[in-house]
Structure 1
Amino acid sequence: MAVFNCATICPIEEMEFSAFFTLVVMLLAAALFISERVRPDLVALIVLVFLGVGGVVTPQEAFAGFSGSAVMTILGISILSEALRQTGVTRWLGARMHRLGAGSEKRLILTTLLISAGLSLLMNNIAVVGVLLPAVLGLARRSRTSPSRLMMPLAYGTALGGMATLLTTANLIVSNALKDAGHQPFGLLDFFPIGAPLVAMGAVYMVTFGMRLMPRYMREDETLPQQLHEKLSHLYGLARRLYEIEVLAACPLAGQTLREARWLQRTGLRILTVRPQGRINLPPFAGMRIHAGDVLVVQGSLQMERLEELGLRFLRALPDLSPIAESGLSLAEIIVAPHGGLIGRTLQETRFNETYQLQVLGIWREGAPLLDDLGTIRIREGDTLLVQGSAERLHLLRRNPDWIVLEEDPDAPLKPERFGQALGITALTLGIAAFNILPVSLAVFGGAVLLLLTGCLDMQETYRVIEWKAIFLIAGMWPLSTAMRTSGLVNYLLQPLIGEMTHIPAWLVALVLILLALFLTQIMSGQVAALVLAPVALTLASRLNLDARALGMAVALGCSLSFPTPFGHPVNVLVMTPGGYTFRDYFRVGMPLTLLAIVFILLGLHFFWGI
C-alpha cells in the first residue's frame, strides 16, 4: 500500500517534517479533547485548519471530510430519524422496547444493547443508531430514565454486534485483503464464534459495572409525557371528571355527527377519545358519527339521570389521561399572548375549536382551574388554556402570535398518517444497504430524498434536525487520518514494531495488532485502520509462518474497539449530545469494556484459530 512506500514518493526531509508536524497536531488535539476546555467539534476544526495551513494536506484533502461517506450517511440518517419520529414509527418502536425493558433500569439497558446488537448483525452501525436513537430517547422519557443511561448501551451494542458479522466495514476490508493476497476470505459466520461471546460479555458488563460507571445527567429541557399528563391532570383536577360511557341502541344521538348532534350543548360532556365498538382509541372531530356500541372517554360533570335520558351508559371513572396518549392526541398548555386579539372574547365567539382544531379542557385563571361552560368565558390576559389535539395542530399554533405554547408532548407524532410510508421507505432503504445493492451512504441518502418527496418530512424541518455537531467533528478529524497516511507517520510508528515482533509468541503478535488497531481506530476510524493494518498482518503472517486469517481476524476485531473515545466510530459521536457525554465519560465506561473485549478476542483466537 501507499502507506509503506511514501518514502519513495517524497524527499525524506519533507516527509520527516510532515510526519513531525502531524504528530504535534495529533498530540495537541488529544490534549484539548482530554482537558475538555474546548468543544470537541471546535477542536476538530482547529485540526483541519492547522493541517491545511501547515501544508501537510492540500485544501482539497482538508475539506474532503465534508463530502465523505460517513458524513453523507449521517446527513441521510438525520433526515430518516426525524421522519420516523414525526410519523410515529419511533414512538411505536419505543413503546415495544418499553414493554420488553419495563420494570427496571437494568432491563432497559439490556434491551437497548441487545436490540442494537441484533440489528447491527445485518445493518450498518450508523443506520442502526439512526433508527433507534429517537426511539431510545422516547423510551428514556417514557420510563423516566436519563438518556445518559441508555445512549452508551445503544452505541456500544452496535459495535459489539458488528464484531459478530462479516458485514461490518472493517471486517470486509480485511477479508478483501486476504482474498487479494491469495488467502481464503472470511465467510459470513466466521466472526460469530468470537463475536457472540463478546456481545454476551458486553451485555453483562453494561448491566453490572457499566451501570455504576455511566453518568446520570438529567436534561432540564426534556419533558416526560407521563409526568406532563399526570401533572396537568392533577393541576386541573381532571382525574375527578374523566369517565367512560357507552352509546346504547336507544340513544337518540346515535347515527349523527358530533356537529349535527350538538353533543357538547346537549350533554355537557367533552369527548376526548372515541373507541368505535370498543376498539382502538380515535380522536374526535366535528364530522365523526357516533354509533351504538361506541365507547367514549368524556370529561365534565356527570349526571346519571341525564345519561339515562340520552341512552348513554356509565362504565367507569378513569384515574388519568392515558387514553389521550393512546389515541395519538397531545396535551399542551397555551397562554394568551399579551395584547392578543382574543382578549375579551369567548371561545365560542372566536370559534376556537373550528379555527385551531383543538379542544379546550380547562382554563387556568388566578391560581385555579375553570372547567365548566368554557365556551362562554371571556378570555383575559394571562389566562392559560389546557388544550387537546393533534401534535401537528399544536406545532402550527407556535407560529400564531396570539398564543404561546408552554408545554407539549415531545414524542407526539406530527404526521401519523404517514406512518406506513415512512416505515416502508425505511425498510426498503435498510434492505438495499444490508444486501450491498448500493453503498450505504447512497442508499440512506436516497431513502431520505424519498421521505422528503412523500411528505414524511419537509425541507424546513430537515435543516433544523441535521446533526451538525457530529458532521463538523467527523469532517474536521478526517484530514488527520489523511495526514497520518500521506506524511509517513504511520510508517514511522509501525516499522520499528514490525522488526521487534519477529521473535515473540503468536498470541503476543495478535495482541500487538489488536492494540495498534485500537489506537489507530480512535484517530483514523476503524475502516482506515483496517486499510493500514491489513497488509501489516499479512506481512507478519508470512515472516513468522503464522495463519494469515487468524492475524487478519485480530486486526478486524481490533478495529471495532471504538469504546474508549467518542471518535472511535461515528455512532459514538451521534449519541454524544443526546447523552450529554464528555470525553472522560467514554474513557471511564469504555476502557474497562475494551480491556475485557481484548481478553475475549485473544481467548477466541486461541480456541477457534489456534493462536
Structure 2
Amino acid sequence: MPITPDILLVLAVLFLVVLFFVFEWVRVDMVGIMVMVCLPLLGLVTPQQAISGLSSNAVVSIIAVIILGAGLDKTGVMNKLAMLILKFAGKDEKKITSIVAATVAVISGFMQNIGAAALFMPAARRISTQTGVPASHILLPMGFCAIIGGTLTLVGSSPLILLNDLLTVRGVSYEHFGMFSMTPIGILLVISALIYFIVFGKWILPHCKVGEKRGLLSPLLAKTYHEVGEIYEMSIPEHGFHEQCLSELQIRSDYACSVLASYNPTTHKRNVAPRPEDTLCPGDTIAVIGEAIFINRLAADFGWKISPEVTVFADDLAPSNSGMMEGIVSPRSQLVGMTVQEAKLRKKYGVVPLAVFVGHEMIISDLSELTINEGTALLLHGKWSAFHQLKDQNDFVFTEPLQGESVREDKAFWALGCLAVTMFMILVLDIQLSISLLFGAMAMILGRVLSLDEAYRSVDWMTVFLLAGLIPLGLAFENTGAAKMIADMLMNAVGVPSPTVLLVCIGLLTSFFTLFTSNVGATVLLVPLSMNLALSCGADPRVAAMTVALAASNTFILPTHQVNALIMRPAGLKAVDYLRAGTGMTILFMIILVGGMRLFF
C-alpha cells in the first residue's frame, strides 16, 4: 500500500501527541482538544467524526460511572468498603495495593474495566487519606489491574466480546470460545501484575516523600494549638471500675484531656461526642485526645489500658470522616454570653470543645465555666457532617474550609439498589453499557443521593476531553489507511514465522495500535489479518485471534486508555509515570501472554 500525504499527516499528528504527553507542554486534556480541532482542519476526519468522541459509548460511560461512584461515596458505602479493606490489610502499603488491585481485577472480569476502576476510586482515595499511602501507589496498580482484569472472561473487555463474531476467515467459521476459555491466561496476567508491583513498586511507582494523610491539625492551627495532643484509644477493665458519668470523672479538669467517643461491647452502642451526663461502664473502649504525659497519667490513675493504635474507632475518627476545626464566634451567634457548659455543643451539634483561645491565651483544662464572647475562638472536634450542620447555624465562622462533606447515610440502600439494577441491565439484559450506566446515574439524582449540581461537579472533565480527543485520532488512522499499511508492512516483514514468533508479532502489533486507537478498532482490523497469516504459516487461526483480543488490553505506557486517563488526575500522575511503570508491565504482559497461549492452546 503506497504512503499517501494523509498517512504522513496522521503519523505526524501522532508523533506530536506523544511529544506533548511526554514533555507536558500543555495539559493532557488540552492535547485532546487540539487533536479534536486539528484533525478536521487537516482533512483527516470529518467534522462529525472529530466531535464524535464526546458522544461515544466510552466517554458517556465514564461520565455516568463517575456519577455512580460519587453517589456511593456520598452515602458512605465506599468508606465502609475502605474500612473493610483496611481491616485485612492494616497500613501495609503492599497489602493495601494488592487487595485493592486484585479486587478490581476480578470485578473487571465481569463488567467494563472503566466501571470497576471508577467505582473503586473513591474507596482507594479514602484509604490513601487514612493510611498516608500516596494515592498514586494505590491507583496506578489498581488501574493496570483493572485493564488486565478484562482478560479474565469473555465479557471482560470489548475485544473479547467481539471475538466470536470475527472468527470467520476465507469463508470458514471457526468454533466459538467459551465464557472462561481465556481465564487461565487472565489469571496468570493478574498474578504477574500483582507480583510486578510488589517486587518493583519501589522503583517504578512515582516517588512521593509523604502520603496524603492529614494530621489532626493543619500546619497553621498546629502552631496555636500544639498542646492539644493526639488521639489515643483506651480500654476500661471489667473489674476495678464502676459505672460513672463523664462529669463525675472530671477527665478534662484533672488531666487536660477530652473523651471523643465511647463503645460498649455488650450493647454495641457507639457514642461519638458523648455528653457530660453519659456514662462509662466496665469493659468500655474510649477515644481520648490529649498530650502523652497526661494520657499516661490518666491510664495509670484509673487502671485503664492504652491501645497501641486506634482500631475500634478507626472508622469514626478517620480523617475522611472527622477532624478538628477552629470556629470564631460570630456577632450574631446565639452562644454569646453563654458558658461553654451552657452552650451544650456536644448535645446540640455533636462536636467536642477541645480548647478556647482568648487574646493570647489558650485554655484546655477547664472550659465548662468559661464565658463565650463575640470573637472567641474555639477548637472543636467532630464529624464533618456535624460541622456542616453547625456551619448552617451561623454561630461560628470557620478559619479554614471544611475538609469533609455531609454524608447521606439514609440513602445508602437506594445507592446500592441503583448499582444493582445497573449491573443487572448490563450483565443480564445485555443493554448497552452507556445507557445502563446513565440509568443508574439518573436514578441516583432522582433518588436525591446527589443533587444535579453535585453530579456535574463530580465528573472529571479533564478525562472526558482527553478521551474525546483521542477517539477521532483512531478514526483518522483508519480513514487514511495508516492502520492497515502498518499492519501489512509488519505481516510482510515477518514472512513465514514460527508459531511463537507469530504470536509475538501479533501481540506487539496489537499493543501498538491500542495505544492510539480504540481497542475495538484494533481488534476488528487485526483479527482477520492475524487469522489469515496463521493459516499461511500452518498455525491455529483461533489462537491468533485470541492473541489479538487479549493483547488489546496491553496498553500501559501512555494515559490513552480510558482507565489510565481516569486515574491520572486523582493520582497526580504524569505521562512519564505511565512510561516508567508501563514499560515493564508491557514487556511482562507480552511474555505471559505468549507463554500462556503456547501452554494452554
**TM-score w.r.t. length of structure 2:** 0.83
Question: What is the distance in 1 between the residues matched to 2:118 and 2:444?
Answer: 14
Out of 64, 81, 84, the position equivalent to 1:96 is: 84
Residues 537 and 548, structure 1, Cα contact 8 Å, conserved in 2: yes
Question: What is the distance in 2 between the residues matched to 1:508 and 1:252?
Answer: 78
Question: What is the distance in 1 between the residues matched to 2:448 and 2:215?
Answer: 26
Displacement of 1:16: 2.9
Structure 1 pair 518–22 and aligned structure 2 pair: CA distance change class (3 A):
same
Question: What is the distance in 1 between the residues matched to 2:584 and 2:283?
Answer: 57
Displacement of 1:137: 1.3
Structure 1 pair 204–351 and aligned structure 2 pair: CA distance change class (3 A):
closer
Corresponding residue of 2:255: none
Amino acid at match of 1:224: R
Question: What is the distance in 2 between the residues matched to 1:434 and 1:298?
Answer: 45
State how many pairs are aligned.
572
Out of 547, 565, 569, the position equivalent to 1:577 is: 569
1:499-510 mapped onto 2 (5 Å cutoff): 499-510=492-503
Amino acid at match of 2:78: T
Structure 1 pair 251–227 and aligned structure 2 pair: CA distance change class (3 A):
closer
Corresponding residue of 1:28: 16
Out of 430, 439, 453, the position equivalent to 2:432 is: 439
Question: What is the distance in 2 between the residues matched to 1:340 and 1:322?
Answer: 40
Out of 372, 377, 382, the position equivalent to 1:378 is: 372
Displacement of 1:67: 1.0
Question: What is the distance in 2 between the residues matched to 1:504 and 1:424?
Answer: 53
Out of 373, 398, 404, the position equivalent to 2:398 is: 404
Q: Are 2:326 and 1:334 equivalent residues in the alignment?
A: yes
Question: What is the distance in 1 between the residues matched to 2:426 and 2:397?
Answer: 45
Residues 351 and 380, structure 2, Cα contact 8 Å, conserved in 1: no
1:276-295 mapped onto 2 (5 Å cutoff): 277-283=266-272
Question: What is the distance in 2 between the residues matched to 1:576 and 1:300?
Answer: 37
Corresponding residue of 1:188: 179
Amino acid at match of 1:184: E
Corresponding residue of 1:118: 106
Out of 133, 153, 165, the position equivalent to 1:176 is: 165
1:72-151 mapped onto 2 (5 Å cutoff): 72-102=60-90, 104-151=92-139
Corresponding residue of 1:517: 510
Amino acid at match of 1:573: A
Corresponding residue of 1:481: 474
Structure 1 pair 421–289 and aligned structure 2 pair: CA distance change class (3 A):
farther
Question: What is the distance in 1 between the residues matched to 2:391 and 2:168?
Answer: 59
Residues 332 and 387, structure 1, Cα contact 8 Å, conserved in 2: yes
Corresponding residue of 1:586: 578
Question: What is the distance in 2 between the residues matched to 1:602 and 1:273?
Answer: 56
1:508-587 mapped onto 2 (5 Å cutoff): 508-567=501-560, 569-587=561-579
Corresponding residue of 1:259: none
3-state secondary structure, aligned to 1:215: coil
Displacement of 1:45: 0.9
Across the aligned residues of Structure 1 and Structure 2, the Cα RMSD in angstroms comes to: 3.9
Structure 1 pair 361–67 and aligned structure 2 pair: CA distance change class (3 A):
same
3-state secondary structure, aligned to 1:207: helix
Out of 33, 42, 47, the position equivalent to 1:54 is: 42
Structure 1 pair 464–264 and aligned structure 2 pair: CA distance change class (3 A):
farther
Question: What is the distance in 1 between the residues matched to 2:556 and 2:194?
Answer: 14
3-state secondary structure, aligned to 1:573: helix
Displacement of 1:458: 1.8
Structure 1 pair 281–349 and aligned structure 2 pair: CA distance change class (3 A):
closer
Amino acid at match of 2:543: A
Residues 116 and 158, structure 1, Cα contact 8 Å, conserved in 2: yes
Question: What is the distance in 1 between the residues matched to 2:237 and 2:457?
Answer: 43
3-state secondary structure, aligned to 2:19: helix
**TM-score w.r.t. length of structure 1:** 0.82
3-state secondary structure, aligned to 1:594: helix
Displacement of 1:280: 4.2
Q: Unpaired runs of 5+ in structure 1?
A: 1-6, 254-262, 302-313
Out of 419, 425, 433, the position equivalent to 1:426 is: 419
Query: What is the percent sequence identity of the aligned residues?
Result: 23
Question: What is the distance in 2 between the residues matched to 1:299 and 1:56?
Answer: 66
Residues 163-185 of structure 1 show CA distances to partners (whole Å, capped at 9, x for unaligned) of 22211211122232116861112
Displacement of 1:354: 7.1
Structure 1 pair 61–264 and aligned structure 2 pair: CA distance change class (3 A):
farther
Q: Unpaired runs of 5+ in structure 2?
A: 253-257, 291-301
